[in-house]
Amino acid sequence: MDFIIHYDIAALVLTLTIIMHYFLQDRIYTRSSMMFKLLLWIHLIACVLDLGTALMINHAGVVSNGIQYVLNGLYCITVYGTAPVYLGYLIDVTKGINDRWKLGDFVKVWGLFVVEVLFIVTTPFTHLLFYFDENRDYFHGPGFDLLQIISMAYFLMALAHAIRNRAALKKVQLITVQIYTAMSIVAACIEMLSNDVLVTQFVTSLTILLIYFSMENPEDYSDKRLGIFNRDAFLLSLNGIMNRKNGFRIMGVTIKGLQYLNDTIGVDNHNLLLKEIAEYFCHIGGVKNVFRMSNSRFAIIYDNKDFAEECLVDTIRNRFDKPFHLQGMDISLEAAMAVLCYPEDVQTIENVVDMLDYAMNEATFSENNEIVRANEELLKKKRREGEVLRTMKNSLREGTFEVFYQPIYSVEKKRYTAAEALIRMPKTEIGFIGPDEFIPIAERNGMILEIGEFVFRTVCQFMVQEQIWEKGIENIHVNLSVVQCMQERLAQNFLDIMNGYELPCNRIHLEVTETAAVISSECLSSNMNQLVEQGVRFALDDYGTGFSNATSLIQYPYNTIKIDKGVVWAAMENENAMKVLTHSVAMIKSLKMDIVAEGVETQEQAEELSNMGCDYFQGYYYSKPVNAEEFLALLEQNCA
């Protein structure tokens, strides 16, 4: 029998090309990728043996029958071994990260193959699959087609498995499985009908190429802009390490303020800066250990034995203490860091990811730039946050939030003329939850938008219902969160609500923090201008903290400046702080703006602030925040 080997030669070249490309790429090795590597190597050996045995058979008499039986037996094992390995690969692809093979999976993959191997190793004695006559000529045995039939069975099982688990596959991957099955069955039929045409290896090479691009494409696990691994690769890498029972440490790094640089330096420069940061992390952590988790977040995985925490922290801090040089610009950035230890702190991959994300969030909002550790204490805090979040959702749904009012005293009129609206949550099943706890959580989870609208609607309804201006209250102050200030439709939404209650716009004072103004400058300016045109007034809240500076006072249309209680208290105890406050008040008055001093708790403080020129006082000396009923009672005394 003379075999046509052209397709085998093409198959060998194509397979070698795939292997070279595969191993030249940086990649994350997982169970499925290891199975794909096995598929590649088995197929390569099958190509070599198919070509080699075909050449030996074409030149009968060159090699003894004993060697022919051994080589042809190995050829059959590798050729018909690709089908079960392919099925095993599909099983791994469709299983979850933590799912393990069950006994049924092993039987399905290797059961029929064991039968094939028994047929192959006994063939020299039974001549069931192939044999050589006395002239050393090759002939198919009566059972040779059994191997092809078993291979077809494997391909059909693989197709059925893919269809049953199609939810775990992308559309292109499911199509690839269908093409693989169809082409493999056609190739098997061709060889059954034309014994001298060797097309199976070439068809297998083509289908492996399809699998490579649709299921093992390294670009699926890389951040194309930065040239490093992405979050999906991080999950796969964790899975591999945890399966090997190895301990590890993760350093999570958030680049603070990076997301606000687009408007300042442009998108292209922003990307160049990100790439420089990524290259630095690769330099200190190794290319295969650095992952981009999100726009401004990175993770570096270390083996326990390689992790020197203090050294690494100092290295990163020292780098970020210096500006990044980019296109003639010096850009200063700050790195917030979190550390997670496995298995000391967490035991499952889900907990690793959740805790790392949470720890990086905590590090980002840490005032002292401390290293946040993802330990049991942080886990308790995370659980508490989850409970608070659920309670807030219930409160919004059931309408159990309350709006309290803290009156604002006018020095000139010697009575309350305004008030600040403050959100409060009644006592819950998990105990008291103060605004200092639930408001930051609401801001991080987006619920602050619903809460903010609830407060605004409640205030508008209360003012109209009680005709509050007839009781001496000229306006009520409502706080705006950072997230609200970033909403393009904020102005229109608020105007619609005020119009719906027929509330004059000049009865509302909106309070904005300096932080909100910096983060959402352009959007906030647009909203402020629209609202000011309709009569709404604005106050700068917490002046003297954060980014407060004179430029901000003239950049936005503020009518009122509220001096933070921390500044007031410090001035009462420190001579230099008093000088700063005195000069600040004089400057603000020169800009024709009203001043509200917060945190006034004693008569002495009130007299001192009045002598400076403050227009309004707010604090416990006058009243703590009270609910609507108590506030109305307070106003009756105020008017009396």
Phi, psi of 29 (to 5 degrees): -90, 125
Residue whose pair of structure tokens reads 């006018």 in the numeric block: 410
CATH of domain 6-216: 1.20.1070.10
Query: What is the third-level CATH fold of 221-374?
Result: Alpha-Beta Plaits (3.30.70)
Per-residue pLDDT, 50 = 82
Contacts of residue 573, defined as CB under 8 A and 6 or more positions apart, other chains included, come to none
**What is the pLDDT confidence band of residue 69, given thresholds at 50, 70 and 90?**
confident
Alpha-carbon span 318 to 486, nearest angstrom: 33
pLDDT tens, 571-623?
A: 998 889 899 899 999 999 999 999 999 999 999 999 999 999 999 999 999 99
Asked whether the beta carbons of 523 and 541 are under 8 A apart, the reply is no
- Provide the 10 A C-beta neighbour count for residue 600: 25
Alpha-carbon span 529 to 356, nearest angstrom: 41
Asked whether the beta carbons of 36 and 89 are under 8 A apart, the reply is yes
Higher pLDDT, 509 or 130: 509
> Nearest-5° angle of CA 197, CA 198, CA 199?
105
Tokens describing residue 351: 């907990």
Angstrom distances, CA of residue 240 to CA of 69, 169, 188, 252? 40, 20, 36, 19
Listed residue (521, 578, 520, 514) closest to 549, CA to CA = 514
User: Around 531, how many Cα atoms within 13 Å sit in the side-chain half-sphere?
Assistant: 33
**What is the pLDDT confidence band of residue 180, given thresholds at 50, 70 and 90?**
confident
Alpha-carbon span 276 to 282, nearest angstrom: 10
Alpha-carbon span 164 to 90, nearest angstrom: 12
pLDDT tens, 373-423?
A: 887 777 788 888 888 888 888 888 888 899 999 999 999 999 999 999 999
Listed residue (169, 303, 235, 249) closest to 28, CA to CA = 235
Catalogue the E-assigned strands of 315-437: 324-326, 329-331, 334-342, 372-373, 402-410, 415-424
Tokens describing residue 53: 């045995």
Higher pLDDT, 157 or 246: 157
Query: Which residues pair with residue 291 across a beta bridge?
Result: 229, 299
Alpha-carbon span 1 to 21, nearest angstrom: 36
Which regions of the chain carry the CATH code 3.30.70.270? Answer: 221-374
**With 0-12 CB in 10 A as exposed, 13-18 as middle and 19+ as buried, what is 408?**
buried
Cα-Cα-Cα-Cα dihedral sign, residues 83, 84, 89, 92: positive
Q: What is the mean pLDDT of the chain?
A: 85
What are the DSSP calls for 541-607, one per residue? Answer: EEETSTT--HHHHHHS--SEEEE-HHHHHHHHH-HHHHHHHHHHHHHHHHTT-EEEEE---SHHHHH
pLDDT tens, 107-156?
A: 999 999 999 999 999 999 999 988 887 777 778 888 888 888 898 899 89
The torsion angle over the Cα atoms of residues 594, 599, 600 and 601, rounded to 10 degrees, is: 170
Phi, psi of 408 (to 5 degrees): -120, 125
Alpha-carbon span 430 to 530, nearest angstrom: 42
* H/E segment holding residue 273: helix 267-285
Alpha-carbon span 96 to 103, nearest angstrom: 17
> Nearest-5° angle of CA 418, CA 423, CA 429?
150
Per-residue pLDDT, 201 = 83
Per-residue pLDDT, 405 = 96
Q: Residues for the chain: how many in total?
A: 640
Alpha-carbon span 501 to 324, nearest angstrom: 52
Asked whether the beta carbons of 638 and 619 are under 8 A apart, the reply is no
Per-residue pLDDT, 562 = 93
Orientation angle between helical segments 103-126 and 82-94, nearest 10 degrees: 180
pLDDT tens, 543-564?
A: 887 555 566 788 888 999 999 9
Task: Provide the 8-state DSSP code for 626.
Answer: B
For 196-202, what is the mean pLDDT?
73
pLDDT tens, 285-330?
A: 888 889 999 888 999 998 876 667 788 888 888 888 888 887 777 7
Which regions of the chain carry the CATH code 3.20.20.450? Answer: 385-639
Which regions of the chain carry the CATH code 1.20.1070.10? Answer: 6-216
CATH of domain 385-639: 3.20.20.450
pLDDT tens, 74-97?
A: 988 998 899 999 999 898 888 765
Give the residue ranges of DSSP H helices in 139-290: 144-164, 171-193, 200-215, 231-243, 262-265, 267-285
Alpha-carbon span 393 to 138, nearest angstrom: 77
